[in-house]
């Protein structure tokens, strides 16, 4: 929760409201405070609260009815959804200090294979971003990302040395659908070098593509350092 007068992002509000639901501060069936009351409590715009509550309603945690207010769902229906994590928050949530290094960022022309995967024309301009995320100074994960410039032009002016492409996109580039693939892959020479592991080491890898309508937003491969484990909830 933010200090009074300090703006809070909708993701932080979503996480806090969900924590209050799970702690039974607001039991199933309970009417929660109004958007205006929550906006005052969190020190943010009402629209920010609306976005957070809408996401929780879509996930089945809240029952929202026009003119009747918002209640905690009496029988929550957990939908098969996967929120794109902000790696910084994931690291900090593990009690470790986060740091980020932009390894390279350059414009490229999409080849035929990439164009086919993302529905682009061959030769369309994409931004290729490679970055390292660290936890307590040690390699946490390596990010190799492509962003179609026409779909996300604002990324060209983003300071990706200060804010990672992962975090910038989560906060600035909406998406309507996506696909994920989890796998164990052998570390190639590039991954081995940046993650400080032996070539051929088993890496937990996430491949993700997202779209906003018919426009591809990004394609990314995130390779985690050996020893990484993922924890989720149902």
Residue 215's nearest CA partner among 162, 170, 161, 176 is 176
Please return the burial class of 198, using the count of CB atoms within 10 Å of its CB with bins 0-12, 13-18 and 19+: exposed
Averaged pLDDT score across all residues of the chain: 90
224: its two tokens: 């985690």
Q: Residue ranges of the domains in the chain?
A: 10-72, 87-224
| Residue of 120, 131, 138, 127 whose CA lies nearest to 196 | 138
CATH code, residues 87-224:
3.40.1410.10
For residue range 164-173, what is the model confidence (pLDDT) as tens digits? 999 999 989 9
pLDDT computed for residue 114 by the predictor: 95
Question: Class assignment of domain 10-72?
Answer: mainly alpha
Averages of pLDDT over each 10 residues, the chain, 234 residues: 54 91 89 94 92 89 86 70 83 95 97 95 97 97 98 96 96 88 94 95 96 93 93 65
Query: What is the pTM assigned to this prediction?
Result: 0.67
């Amino acid at each position: 929760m933010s200090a009074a007068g300090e703006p809070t992002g909708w993701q932080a509000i979503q996480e806090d409201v969900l924590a209050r639901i799970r702690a039974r501060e607001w039991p199933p069936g309970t009417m929660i405070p109004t958007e205006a009351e929550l906006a005052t409590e969190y020190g943010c715009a009402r629209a920010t609260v609306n976005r957070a509550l809408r996401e929780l309603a879509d996930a089945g945690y809240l029952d929202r009815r026009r003119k009747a207010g918002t209640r905690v769902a009496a029988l929550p229906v957990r939908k098969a959804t996967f929120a794109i994590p902000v790696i910084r928050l994931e690291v900090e949530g593990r009690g470790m200090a986060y740091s980020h290094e932009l390894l390279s960022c350059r414009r490229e022309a999409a080849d035929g294979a990439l164009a086919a995967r993302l529905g682009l024309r061959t030769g369309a301009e994409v931004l290729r971003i490679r970055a390292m995320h660290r936890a307590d100074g040690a390699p946490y994960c390596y990010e190799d990302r492509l962003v179609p410039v026409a779909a996300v032009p604002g990324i060209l002016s983003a300071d990706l040395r200060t804010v990672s492409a992962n975090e910038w996109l989560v906060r600035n580039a909406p998406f309507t659908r996506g696909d994920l693939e989890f796998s164990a892959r052998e570390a190639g020479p590039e991954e081995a070098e940046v993650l400080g592991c032996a070539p051929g080491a088993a890496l937990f890898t996430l491949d993700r593509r997202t779209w906003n309508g018919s426009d591809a937003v990004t394609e990314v491969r995130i390779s985690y350092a050996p020893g990484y484990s993922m924890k989720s909830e149902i």
